[in-house]
Amino acid sequence: MTTNSSLISIQRSTDTKKKPPQDQLGFGIYYTDHMFVMDYSVGQGWHDPRIIPYQPLVLDPAAKVFHYGQTIFEGLKAYKTADDRIQLFRPRDNFQRMNRSNDRMSVPELDIDMAMAALEQLIAVDREWIPSLEGTSLYIRPFVIATQPTLGVAPSEHYQFIIIMSPVGAYYPEGINPVKIHVESDYVRAVPGGSGEAKTAGNYASALKSQQAAKEQGYTQVLWLDGKQHKYIEEVGSMNVFFKIGGTVYTPALTGSILHGITRDSVIRLLKHWGIPVEERMLAIDELYEAGRNGTLEEAFGTGTAAVISPIGEMNWNGEKLIIGEGKTGQLSKSVYDTLTGIQTGAVADPFGWTQQVEVIGK
């Protein structure tokens, strides 16, 4: 396996796309001029790393990814600092997690140095696409698909590793605002021994139905309970979740069906750094409601790369509503949001070594 980035071939796009206005980016709507692609075949390993103009894929309709969902993805962001540097936030953690997802889905492992070199080169080529307006960033979507055109249910012998990038808008253009959450009592997202820990397509496709039902009832997201007893809190939508109860911050322990969020880990470390008690443990939904009723539930928020922090102002569990922090963004949620986004954009010092600068040679 090579980690020499000079082996990545670059074919530059001849017609650069018009960039959308930075206050109208939305999420995952526009894509940069280039993409990274690398192939895998049994016997040959990963080969032919290349940066090419952004374009549709040509795949055989029998490609295994379409039928059996052998695919994984990642999500991370690049930020433009006020002094015009480019920063990534814990990118190696994303590629490490990608390999854990790969392992779970029988996808061959990727060399993390190679993936980092590919990402840095791609960002350098498309650096003009990183927006600079407050709250904006360049969302990066690495993914692997199984491309072998045979219908037998078996791990594919051919794959593609692809990175695409999308300039995304401010998640909270009108300031950080709490969301209303529907507690899902029927459907589950993940089960013990299942694929909940992996960022793999099927987990998200099977979550759409409850998400849609929640939306129809006026809720932004679903709070998932464990797949066995429908009792313990797991995640909120595609975010990890935190609750501040009686001065201590709780988040569900990583029991196997919960995604290992990098934002989750960053929040835990930040809280510990601040001397705020934080506990990873199983948290029952009735325990949370009890804390809500007796007034000790102070704050609740989701964590993930897209929103960073998403405060929860209201929950509904089997028709019983729980208003959290008067439906307003709590002080701790706000501090965590400001600090993490500050570190990511270079406005706040990074004592954790989380940010990594992307060097653009000849800039």
Ligand X SMILES: *Cc1c(COP(=O)(O)O)cnc(C)c1O
Tell me the closest approach of the beta carbon of residue 221 to ligand X, in angstroms: 11
77 belongs to the binding site for ligand X (CB under 6 A): no
How many chain residues interact with ligand X (CB under 6 A)?
A: 14
Long-range contacts from 347-350, C-beta under 8 angstroms, 24+ separation: 347/81, 347/82
Q: Is 222 in the site for ligand X (CB under 6 A)?
A: no
Q: Which stretch binds ligand X (CB under 6 A): 44-52, 126-134, 234-242, 343-351?
A: 234-242
Our CB check for ligand X shows the closer of 64 and 199 to be 199
State how far the Cα of 52 lies from the Cα of 58, in Å rounded to an integer.
14
SS3 state of residue 199: coil
Smaller CB distance to ligand X: residue 129 or 224?
224
Please tell me whether residue 333 binds ligand X under the rule CB under 6 A: no
- Strand, coil or helix: what is 165? strand
Backbone phi, psi, residue 264, to 5°: -55, -50
Shortest distance, CB of residue 224 to ligand X, whole angstroms?
Answer: 9
Using CB under 6 A, pick the residue from 261, 292, 313, 325 that binds ligand X: 261
Q: Are 348 and 354 in contact (CB under 8 A)?
A: no
Contact region for ligand X (CB under 6 A) — 124-132, 158-166, 233-241, 310-318?
233-241
Among 125-133, 149-157, 236-244, 282-290, the segment contacting ligand X (CB under 6 A): 236-244
- For position 251 contacting ligand X by CB under 6 A, the verdict is no
Q: Which stretch binds ligand X (CB under 6 A): 114-122, 136-144, 235-243, 287-295?
A: 235-243
310, 337 contact by CB (below 8 A): no
CA atoms within 13 A on the CB side of 101: 29
Q: Position 252: which residue type?
A: P
* Other C-beta atoms lying within 10 Å of the C-beta of residue 170: 16
Distance CA 89, CA 354 (A): 6
Q: Is 8 helix (H, G, I), strand (E, B) or coil?
A: coil
Q: Among 137, 156, 305, 333, which residue sits at the site for ligand X (rule: CB under 6 A)?
A: 305
Least Å from the CB of residue 246 to ligand X = 25
Can you give the three-state secondary structure of 224-241, one letter per residue?
Answer: EECCCCCCEEEEECCEEE
The residues that bridge with 10 in the sheet, in sequence order, are 51
Out of 226, 235, 299, 314, name the contact with ligand X by CB under 6 A.
Answer: 235
Closest CA to 15 of 37, 29, 34, 28: 34
168 binds ligand X (CB under 6 A): no
Choose the binding region for ligand X from 79-87, 148-156, 232-240, 327-335 (rule: CB under 6 A): 232-240
Query: Of residues 195, 240, 251, 345, which one binds ligand X by CB under 6 A?
Result: 240
Query: Which residue in 102, 156, 263, 355 binds ligand X (CB under 6 A)?
Result: 263
Interacting residues toward ligand X by CB under 6 A: 75, 199, 235, 238-240, 259, 261-264, 303-305
